[in-house]
């Protein structure tokens, strides 16, 4: 559908990823003078945030991203985030990466669904970018990268019509279709139901430019109003206060897309599958064996060719970050994950035989960093004990 | 008053697209067929009032070039004088099937040669008037197909070039026999409505300009155009003059579907605010102006409504679909 969807999808999911990582890294921080070599410190956190952000906003990469194109599969996109999450010294295993990706996607699905007007998905994106700029505010070069992306967004999306934004929203909702993963922070805030579907409020302000429902006005042939009738519409809406700012700086006027993992709250990122009585059609949705593989691989190669990843091999061990309470839990989650939800990079490996794309082989080579070095006295281990309930 | 009946279970959840439900009442009493789209599939099912589906069928949009399966944008039964055809629109083109989806009788590929690079290609908006089927496209062009009484010999007879932005929906009403009676209305992404008199050559009668707000759904009833907009408003115009007669602050979010029960003059509206409303339209005997009365409000809790249709011409029952909702909700008069 809309060929303008990918940049918004990528930036917002990326923003959610940074929120979660920042929160998790802060929770594991040890003051630098007390930290052992394998423990996370504030310096490490900043380094991870900076590395991932500068990779995410790499000029060449964004150039590819902003080219008009269709959305590819969830698997293909997941591969991009796997790589992005490993753009620094931090290492995530399959279980934590799955959980991270689930949290990111459900958060953005919620934001798209609740967006007052289709156009406001741009404000949600700006909220993410505003927060990212704050994360990396000590690195003027990266701030400049983010600002350039801001300009590009304003340039490309500023002139789109309401109809085009509605098409973008419909495309995003098709992408997120059938994802009903329950997230504890949403369940606790009562914005998600136990069946995994989100709560749609029937009160509060209406979108900017919309009148509060409840009035019928009738006109005669001369255009004069001849009758006004009120009716009970069943909701409890109020007028919109103001429109959010679509400029580089300003009040976005909505909280969707801001950081909901604030430090004051205990870490609450538990995810669980929706009850099984719901027909989960993820697997049925793709009847064909996947004729896309080649097209998709080309897309990934192009996109990730633009990502400049600093090699972290060498004497420095990659720091591990676990999104579960214990390692056992993490392993268990990876094992018990329903088939249709596991995103292994199998179809990437299939291309290794073909050897048709040098660039891709290089990328895949780097993917092997996944299989951690065995001398794994990871920084994560001791810190796990300190982590609150996840 | 309407009461919720047993829902119909679906194999897949409907996509969040405009007018994502079509209902075809079958001659057998109470029997109806339902069509809705999900990704690159169209799901067809027929059911009796007890809620038991009798038959289910999945159609795929597999025609046309390219590896990526195209997304279907709309499914609609066109009731023509001698036959009923099921029309599917997708990112690649237009597929026309026999009404049960068993045989595809016609395929029209979209012309992408003059498309700017950032343009999404698709067909959307389907209606039948007489023996013509009208289908809207991404460019704003409306394709008119001439359909024979039987057989696959469907011809593209005309292209209407009045819209400049993607068409959203098309509605038609059987002509009353007089000359120059509006029987087709086309709507687009900018809210522009064009009113036509169908025939071997379609004649433009009125243009009703929009305000940049999309018009996802439109209906035609006794010479009046009812249009549902992206700002939640329903506006009713005199088709011949374009004069605004009624303006309803109906919904708090974009309207996604309108439907009309012609025998009762009832209008059904469904929107992204999770509400479905039923309105009664009538003509004031003195002034001749259209008037509206609110009849019923239904909150489909936590559901982004994407399709809503009456199941019979009297409007005594209706069906609703929602994004991520794996059933068709049904309501009937008590």
Question: Over the stretch A142-164, which tens digit does the pLDDT of each residue have?
Answer: 999 999 999 999 999 999 999 99
Predicted confidence band of residue A290 (pLDDT cuts 50, 70, 90): very low
pLDDT at B163: 97
Other Cβ atoms less than 10 A from the Cβ of A184: the count is 17
Indicate the number of domains in chain B.
1
- What does the pLDDT average to over A253-258? 89
Instruction: Specify the pLDDT at position A386.
Output: 28
pLDDT in tens, B91-108: 999 999 999 999 999 999
> Both tokens of residue A292?
């896309």
Per DSSP, A370 falls in state: G
Give the distance from residue A323's alpha carbon to the nearest chain B alpha carbon, in angstroms: 28
Q: Which residues of B touch A281 (CB under 8 A)?
A: 11-13, 326
pLDDT for the residue A389: 28
> A83-97, A326-340, A349-363, B86-100 — which one is most confidently predicted on average?
B86-100
Mean pLDDT, chain A, rounded, equals: 77
Tell me if residue A148 falls in helix, strand or coil. helix
Alpha carbon distance B86, B58 (integer Å):
13
Rg (CA), chain A: 23
Q: Is the pLDDT of residue A352 over 70?
A: no
Report for A283-297, A311-325, B280-294: range of highest mean pLDDT:
B280-294
Strands (E), B178-288: 184-188, 193-197, 203-208, 217-221, 224-228, 233-238, 244-249, 255-261, 266-271, 275-283
CATH number for position B228: 2.130.10.10
Residue B301: list chain A partners with CB under 8 A: 200
What are the DSSP calls for A263-323, one per residue?
A: TTSPP---EEPPPTTS---TTTT--SS-TTHHHHHHHHHHHHHT--PPP--SSSPPEE--S
Q: What is the pLDDT of residue B113?
A: 81
Question: How much of chain A exceeds pLDDT 70, in percent?
Answer: 68
Say yes or no: A346 contacts chain B, CB-CB below 8 A.
no
Asked which of A77-86, A132-141, B198-207 is least confident by mean pLDDT, the reply is A77-86
Residue in this structure with the two tokens 């700002």, named with its chain if needed: B231
* pLDDT of residue A267 exceeding 60: no
Terminal Cα distance for chain A, rounded: 37
Measure the CA–CA gap between A106 and A100, rounded to whole angstroms. 10
Strands A225-230 and A236-238 turn out to be unpaired
CB–CB contact B189 A180 (8 Å): no
- The closest of A349, A274, A290 to A102, measured between CA atoms, is A274
Q: Is the pLDDT of residue A338 over 80?
A: no
Helical H segments across A258-326, by residue range: 293-305
Token code pair at residue A200: 């749609």
Q: How does pLDDT run across B262-318, given as a tens digit for each residue?
A: 999 999 999 999 999 999 999 988 888 899 999 999 999 999 999 999 999 899 999
Contacts of B253 in chain A (CB under 8 A): 116, 207, 210
DSSP state letter for A192? B
ipTM more than 0.85? yes
Which residue range(s) make up the domain with B100? 2-114+121-333
Query: Which of A149, A37, A29 is CA-nearest to residue A377?
Result: A37
Mean pLDDT across A365-384: 36
Q: Alpha-carbon distance B264 to B201, whole Å?
A: 31
Contact A217 B17 (CB under 8 A): no
**For residues A193-199, average pLDDT:** 91
- A33 or A59, greater pLDDT: A59
Q: Which two tokens stand for residue A291?
A: 């004729």
For A338, other C-beta atoms within 10 Å of its C-beta total 11
């Amino acid at each position: 559908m809309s060929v303008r969807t990918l940049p918004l999808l990528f930036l917002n999911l990326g923003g959610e990823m940074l929120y979660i990582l920042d929160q998790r890294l802060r929770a594991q921080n040890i003051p630098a003078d007390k930290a052992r070599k394998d423990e996370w410190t504030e310096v490490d956190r900043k380094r991870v945030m900076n590395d991932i952000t500068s990779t995410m906003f790499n000029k060449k990469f964004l150039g590819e991203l902003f080219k008009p194109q269709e959305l590819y599969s969830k698997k293909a996109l997941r591969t991009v985030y796997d790589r992005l999450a490993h753009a620094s010294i931090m290492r995530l295993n399959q279980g934590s990466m799955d959980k991270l990706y689930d949290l990111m996607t459900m958060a953005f699905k919620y934001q798209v669904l609740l967006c007052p007007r289709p156009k406001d998905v741009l404000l949600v994106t700006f909220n993410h970018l505003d927060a990212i700029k704050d994360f990396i505010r000590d690195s003027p070069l990266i701030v400049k990268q983010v600002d350039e992306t801001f300009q590009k967004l304003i340039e490309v999306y500023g002139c789109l019509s309401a109809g085009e934004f509605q098409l973008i929203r419909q495309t995003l909702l098709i992408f997120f279709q059938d994802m009903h993963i329950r997230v504890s922070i949403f369940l606790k805030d009562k914005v998600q139901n136990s069946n995994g579907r989100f709560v749609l409020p029937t009160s509060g302000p209406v979108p900017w430019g919309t009148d509060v429902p409840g009035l019928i006005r009738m006109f005669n042939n001369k255009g004069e109003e001849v009758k006004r009738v009120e009716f009970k519409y069943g909701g409890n809406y109020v007028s919109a206060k103001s429109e959010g700012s679509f400029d580089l700086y300003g009040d976005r006027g909505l909280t969707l897309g801001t950081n909901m993992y604030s430090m004051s709250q205990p870490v609450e990122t538990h995810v669980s599958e929706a009850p099984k009585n719901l027909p989960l059609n993820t697997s049925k949705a793709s009847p064909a064996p996947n004729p896309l593989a080649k097209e998709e691989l080309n897309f990934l190669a192009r996109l990730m060719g633009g990502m400049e990843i600093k090699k972290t091999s060498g004497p420095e061990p990659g720091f591990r970050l676990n999104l579960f309470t214990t390692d056992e839990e993490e392993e268990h989650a990876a094992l018990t994950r329903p088939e249709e939800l596991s995103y292994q990079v199998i179809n990437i490996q299939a291309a290794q035989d073909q050897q048709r794309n040098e660039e891709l082989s290089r990328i895949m080579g780097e993917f092997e960093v996944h299989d951690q070095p065995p001398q794994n006295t990871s920084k994560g281990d001791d810190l796990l004990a300190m982590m609150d309930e996840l | 008053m309407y009461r919720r009946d047993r829902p119909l279970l679906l194999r897949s959840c409907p996509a969040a697209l405009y007018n994502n439900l079509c209902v075809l009442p079958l001659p057998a009493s109470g029997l109806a067929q339902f069509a809705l789209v999900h990704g690159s599939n169209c799901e067809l099912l027929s059911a009796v009032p007890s809620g038991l589906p009798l038959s289910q069928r999945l159609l795929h949009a597999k025609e046309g070039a390219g590896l990526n399966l195209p997304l279907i944008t709309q499914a609609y039964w066109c009731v023509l004088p001698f036959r009923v055809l099921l029309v599917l629109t997708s990112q690649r083109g237009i597929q026309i099937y026999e009404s049960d989806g068993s045989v595809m009788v016609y395929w029209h590929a979209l012309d992408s040669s003059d498309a700017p690079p950032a343009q999404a290609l698709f067909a959307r908006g389907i209606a039948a008037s007489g023996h013509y089927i009208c289908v809207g496209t991404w460019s704003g062009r409306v394709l008119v197909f001439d359909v024979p009484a039987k057989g696959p010999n469907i011809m593209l007879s005309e292209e209407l070039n009045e819209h400049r932005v993607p068409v959203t929906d098309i509605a038609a009403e059987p002509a009353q026999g007089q000359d120059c009676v509006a029987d087709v209305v086309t709507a687009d992404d900018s809210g522009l409505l064009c009113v036509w008199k169908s025939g071997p050559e379609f004649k433009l009668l009125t243009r009703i300009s929009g305000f940049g707000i999309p018009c996802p759904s439109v209906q035609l009833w006794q010479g009046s155009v009812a249009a549902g907009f992206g700002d939640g408003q329903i506006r009713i115009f005199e088709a011949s003059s374009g004069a605004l007669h009624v303006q309803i602050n109906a919904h708090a979010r974009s309207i996604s579907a309108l439907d009309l029960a012609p025998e009762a003059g009832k209008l059904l509206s469904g929107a992204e605010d999770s509400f479905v409303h039923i309105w009664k339209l009538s003509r004031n005997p003195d002034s001749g102006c259209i008037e509206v009365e609110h009849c019923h409000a239904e909150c489909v809790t936590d559901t982004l409504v994407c399709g809503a249709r009456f199941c019979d011409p009297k409007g005594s029952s209706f069906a609703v679909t929602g994004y991520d909702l794996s059933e068709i909700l049904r309501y009937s008069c008590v």
